[in-house]
Amino acid sequence: MIRLKFFIITTALLGLFTNVQAQSSDDKARSGSVYSNLGAGLPLDYVSSGAEGSGVPGVSYQEPYTSGYSNPAHWGNSNVTTASGGVSLQNYNATDNSSESINTVVTPNQLNLQIPLLRNRLGVSAGMNPVTRSNFRTFTNGTHYLGSGAEQDTLYSSIQNSGNGGINALELGVGFRLTDNIFLGYAGSLLFSSVENNLSAFFSDDDYQQVEYTQRTSGKGFGNRFGAHVRIPRLFGERDRLNLGGTFNLPANIDASRVQESNTGSDVITIEDRGDSELGSGNIRLPMTVSSGLTYEASPYVAFSTEGLYQPWSDFEYSFDREQEQLMDDRYKIGFGIRYFPFLFDSEQILSKLKYRLGVSYDTGHLKIEDQKIETLMFSLGLGFLSPNSNSSVDISFQYGIRGTTAENLVKENIWGMKLSLNLAELMFNRPRLQ
Amino acid sequence: MENARLSAWKGLTILSLLVLPVLLSSCEDPGSVGSSFTQNDGEVSIDTVQVEGIESEQLNSYSGQLPFLSPGRFDDPLFGEVEIISLLRPSIASATSEDEMEEDANMKLRLFVNNDLTYGDSTASATYDLFELDQTWRGGEWKLSDEPTIMENAQVGSFSVDEEDSIDVTLEGDWVDEYREFFNSEETDKDSLYRAQFPGLAVVPSNAAKLSPIDMDSSRVIIENEEDTLEYTFRDGANSLTRENEADVPGDTRTVHNTLEEVLSFEMDLTEENIGSLDVSRVELVFYEDNETLSNTISEVSGPAQRTPYDAASLFLAEPGDLPSAVDPGDPLGDEAEYRESDHSFRFNITEIVKQNMVDGIPEDQQFYLRLQSNDGTLRSSLFHTEDAPEGKKPILIVTSVKNENSSN
């Protein structure tokens, strides 16, 4: 009966988010940060489900019964098969020096499956993870003067520029235990780039037809990342532990192509290549990523983490728009987080059955426009809800952050977000496959 | 313990139900925020493209069974000495009709003149003689330059047109008797015989004052019997035009007549390379009238003379071998262009034809033709500037499009 209630409630939650996701297919709920228009989109970090809400990706600690895909080394220390997936809902309140806009976007997060081949010694992982994301919608208004003298007429135009898509990684990896407290891991991925930019121009005069065209950028490449995790138990006491972790992503090249499809009303004309244009074949080179940090577990109940990330986006290559390459700058990110797991006390209090996470992060961003870094300060709070009769959980986190600046007529965004991750470690997942 | 976890799950559900609507309730209100660094993805561009290679094409069009007959003579300082002789054939009673034209019946033509369309001095008195024709003819086959054979010794009537809009013309002579025979005939094929054998009338101007457009839909044949009066329409009509001593027009202009004596022909490269973008919102073809020359020359005429006004022009795409039927009536490209008085221009919206041809271009064996107004039996003439005209008067394409880095230029 309890399993049935768990199933019903989980289904209701997924249904609720699916409903939200369905709304996202409408143009009215598809746009996110205006900064995601540039380059390959905004970079997303590999964040473990167990780290949601703690302000750090989680490369330096592994939470039992949750998919820890931020660090491949963690896959060598799992004892049950786990699966996870999730969605994000984010609301952007953007302002510049003269106007304000509100955008909402719902996007799927990672999808991950981890299988221990040798319990706590060797494990493999498969997953689909977003690497960059582009979701934006902006309007540009224009005034045009037709003719001259007494015959001069005024034409008003509005251009809607929208885009969605990004780079995703289909990843396979392995992690293993080198010594009792040292774990190493590797993941190779097939990177897919699929970005669609739409332009629609509207005019104040009915004699002027609406103009629509779409640019599609697609391509694929390969990615490689390595991870290491070192545990130092009993550092200051009998039950504490220090965790050191780090990952390294090699630069990745995506062999891509861009076409433009113009809708003439009666036909769709596709341009695949053209001289000096932005169409045709090109290369997207993602920079390497170095991520590392440490987590001090004062006890099984309380842990403190600090992790940092470095991406030299000045090495970014984007042959479809060389000017946008110049907007990229090296990115640094640092985060601090606390997790508190009162459920381990076996208390009967409802609030003691949850996992709590709290964190803050500062991100210099990968953009530098008009000599202004597009920085992000993000606060987050996470709650983990355990299944009544298994180790599965739903982890939900809330974020509030500030990105950008209104200096130089740039955009400052107030971001409200909510992420939902479903972590399954039961039913068919509750037994180790090979012993 | 499990009950407490289940309660926590219920709490999660309630929390989600509360928080999600709050986030969603903020809705979307996307604005111009961020457009300062996204505008390079596409900009509205308004460009002009020259139209070149404009020539005159002289056609001999059909001039029968049109809404107007425009008999008259006028010496236009620019477009020459124009004379139109109109051909008329009244209707007769059908074989099944009980109408009869009595032997001593009076026969009249009631002609309605549209003075707004007069070509010449509308206040002058134009005089006309009606003669019997010495040939059979069919309006549907008569061409503007065809010359009628007139029996000048067989005058049937005469009339003059001043400023009135209706004239009754009494007909008399042998021609009326011949007409009465056909009218009263009881032969079942009388209509065919009438068209094949009865020559009708020629309306011949006897002075050079003006061309008076006769509205063929309104005009009637009146037969006044002793007891009753019969009204009939006209069975057929046609115009026959001669034009002499035309003045040399300015070198940067071409003459255009609605009678198709001259139409403009030209080629346009409507490919994306020439237009500048695949993503067009509107393409307008603009021709300018040489209003200065038109005004100066008509003012040379003594008296309040005018040329028949026009307010539209049509554009066609056709193979030369299909002329003149391809432009009369033809299948115009879109709506006709209305005359814009303020800058003396005609503006054709050719957006659709550009969109349809911007990939493959216009077929080589086709060209564009511009016709003034419609060939309706009136005589309307104009001068259009060519590519040799000064800036601001040259024919151009005004292309409103969205361009980006991938546009052709």
- Tell me, what's the ipTM? 0.79
Which of A103, A162, A412 to probe the B interface (max B CBs under 10 A)? A103
- CB A172, CB A124: distance < 8 Å: yes
B303 CA: distance to closest CA in chain A (Å): 32
Nearest residue, CB atoms, B282 vs list A208, A274, A396:
A208
B326 CA: distance to closest CA in chain A (Å): 25
- Tokens coding A259: 């076409």
Among residues B42, B35, B24, B41, which one has the least CA distance to residue A102?
B24
- CB B138, CB B236: distance < 8 Å: yes
CA dihedral A382, A384, A385, A387 (to 10 degrees): 160
Among residues B34, B215, B253, B264, which one has the least CA distance to residue B110?
B215
Nearest residue, CB atoms, A353 vs list B8, B42, B402:
B8
Examine the pLDDT at B262 and tell me if it is beyond 60.
Answer: yes
Least trusted range by pLDDT, from A217-226, B51-60, B252-261, B271-280: B271-280
| B324 cis-preceded (ω within 30 degrees of 0) | yes
A109 CA: distance to closest CA in chain B (Å): 17
pTM passes above 0.90: no
Name every chain B residue with its beta carbon within 8 A of the beta carbon of A210. 281
Name every chain A residue with its beta carbon within 8 A of the beta carbon of B398. 146
Q: Do the chains contact at A161 and B38, CB–CB below 8 Å?
A: yes
CA pair distance B406, B409, nearest whole angstrom: 8
B266 CA: distance to closest CA in chain A (Å): 24
CA pair distance A188, A93, nearest whole angstrom: 37
CA pair distance B291, B383, nearest whole angstrom: 8
Least trusted range by pLDDT, from A25-29, A158-162, B268-272, B287-291: A25-29
Q: Do the chains contact at B15 and A159, CB–CB below 8 Å?
A: no
Sign of the torsion formed by the C-alpha atoms of B32, B38, B40 and B42: negative
Range B111-115 average pLDDT: 96
Nearest residue, CB atoms, B32 vs list A138, A197, A420:
A138
Q: Do the chains contact at A418 and B2, CB–CB below 8 Å?
A: no
Examine the pLDDT at A153 and tell me if it is beyond 90.
Answer: no
Give Dmax over CA atoms of chain B in angstroms: 127
Which chain A residue has its CA at the smallest distance from B8's CA?
Answer: A350
Q: Do the chains contact at A209 and B351, CB–CB below 8 Å?
A: yes
Band of pLDDT at residue A21, cut at 50, 70 and 90: very low
Q: Do the chains contact at B32 and A95, CB–CB below 8 Å?
A: no
Question: Which pLDDT does position A258 carry in this prediction?
Answer: 92
Among residues B238, B232, B235, B236, which one has the least CA distance to residue B108?
B232
Q: Do the chains contact at A9 and B13, CB–CB below 8 Å?
A: yes
Q: Do the chains contact at B37 and A150, CB–CB below 8 Å?
A: no
Question: Which pLDDT does position A435 carry in this prediction?
Answer: 42
Among residues B90, B70, B201, which one has the least CA distance to residue B148?
B201
Range B154-170 average pLDDT: 94
Q: How far is CA A354 from the centre of its chain?
A: 25
Amino acid identity of residue A326, one-letter, is: Q
In this structure, the number of other CB atoms found within 10 A of the CB of residue B134 comes to 13
Helix residue spans in B185-265 (DSSP H): 190-197
Which chain A residue has its CA at the smallest distance from B282's CA?
Answer: A208
Question: Which pLDDT does position A137 carry in this prediction?
Answer: 85
Question: Which pLDDT does position A29 carry in this prediction?
Answer: 42
Q: Is A74 helix (H, G, I), strand (E, B) or coil?
A: helix
Q: Do the chains contact at A353 and B349, CB–CB below 8 Å?
A: no
Mean pLDDT, chain B, integer? 90
- Tokens coding B79: 């477009």
Least trusted range by pLDDT, from B59-68, B253-262, B360-369: B360-369
Q: Do the chains contact at A265 and B282, CB–CB below 8 Å?
A: no
Band of pLDDT at residue A433, cut at 50, 70 and 90: very low
B366 CA: distance to closest CA in chain A (Å): 22
Band of pLDDT at residue B313, cut at 50, 70 and 90: very high
Q: Which residue has the higher pLDDT, A32 or A366?
A: A366
Mean pLDDT, chain A, integer? 87
Q: Do the chains contact at B31 and A140, CB–CB below 8 Å?
A: no
- CB A47, CB A122: distance < 8 Å: no
- Model confidence over A2-17: pLDDT tens digits? 455 544 555 555 555 4
Band of pLDDT at residue B5, cut at 50, 70 and 90: low
Question: Which pLDDT does position B326 carry in this prediction?
Answer: 92
Q: Do the chains contact at B41 and A28, CB–CB below 8 Å?
A: no
Q: Do the chains contact at A9 and B9, CB–CB below 8 Å?
A: yes
Question: Which pLDDT does position A25 carry in this prediction?
Answer: 41
Among residues A25, A51, A111, which one has the least CA distance to residue A335?
A51
> Residue B245 phi/psi, 5° resolution?
55, 45
Question: Which pLDDT does position A106 carry in this prediction?
Answer: 86
A106 CA: distance to closest CA in chain B (Å): 10
Nearest residue, CB atoms, B405 vs list A29, A201, A277:
A277
- Model confidence over A48-101: pLDDT tens digits? 888 888 999 999 988 888 878 899 999 999 888 899 998 889 999 999 888 888
| B329 cis-preceded (ω within 30 degrees of 0) | yes
Examine the pLDDT at B279 and tell me if it is beyond 70.
Answer: yes
CA pair distance B367, B375, nearest whole angstrom: 20
> What Rg, from alpha-carbon coordinates, does chain A have?
24
Examine the pLDDT at B14 and tell me if it is beyond 60.
Answer: yes
> What Rg, from alpha-carbon coordinates, does chain B have?
32
Question: Which pLDDT does position A283 carry in this prediction?
Answer: 94
Output the CA–CA distances (angstroms, integers) from residue B385 to A93, B36, B48, B170, B371, in the order listed: 56, 43, 16, 47, 14
Least trusted range by pLDDT, from A153-167, B34-48, B201-215: B34-48
Q: Do the chains contact at A161 and B42, CB–CB below 8 Å?
A: yes
Band of pLDDT at residue A219, cut at 50, 70 and 90: very high
Question: Which pLDDT does position A434 carry in this prediction?
Answer: 46
CA pair distance A289, A227, nearest whole angstrom: 11
Examine the pLDDT at B215 and tell me if it is beyond 80.
Answer: yes
Question: Which pLDDT does position A348 carry in this prediction?
Answer: 73
Question: Which pLDDT does position A136 carry in this prediction?
Answer: 87
Nearest residue, CB atoms, A199 vs list B1, B41, B343:
B41
Nearest residue, CB atoms, A211 vs list B33, B39, B281:
B281
Q: Do the chains contact at B24 and A23, CB–CB below 8 Å?
A: yes
CA pair distance B406, A274, nearest whole angstrom: 7
Q: Inter-axis angle of helices B2-25 and A2-24, to 10 degrees?
A: 10
Q: Do the chains contact at B44 and A157, CB–CB below 8 Å?
A: yes
Range B229-234 average pLDDT: 96
Examine the pLDDT at A365 and tell me if it is beyond 50.
Answer: yes
Name every chain B residue with its beta carbon within 8 A of the beta carbon of A91. 23, 26
Examine the pLDDT at A19 and tell me if it is beyond 60.
Answer: no
Name every chain B residue with its beta carbon within 8 A of the beta carbon of A409. 36
- CB B119, CB B379: distance < 8 Å: yes
- Model confidence over B72-94: pLDDT tens digits? 999 999 999 999 999 999 999 99
- Tokens coding B381: 């003439």
CA pair distance B329, B316, nearest whole angstrom: 10
Examine the pLDDT at A313 and tell me if it is beyond 80.
Answer: yes
- CB B209, CB B373: distance < 8 Å: no
* Interacting residues of B62 by C-beta distance below 8 A, sequence separation 6+: B140, B141, B142, B143, B144, B324, B328
A150 class by beta-carbon count within 10 Å (0-12 exposed, 13-18 middle, 19+ buried): exposed
Interface A:B, Cβ pairs < 8 A: 230
- Tokens coding A142: 């224009």
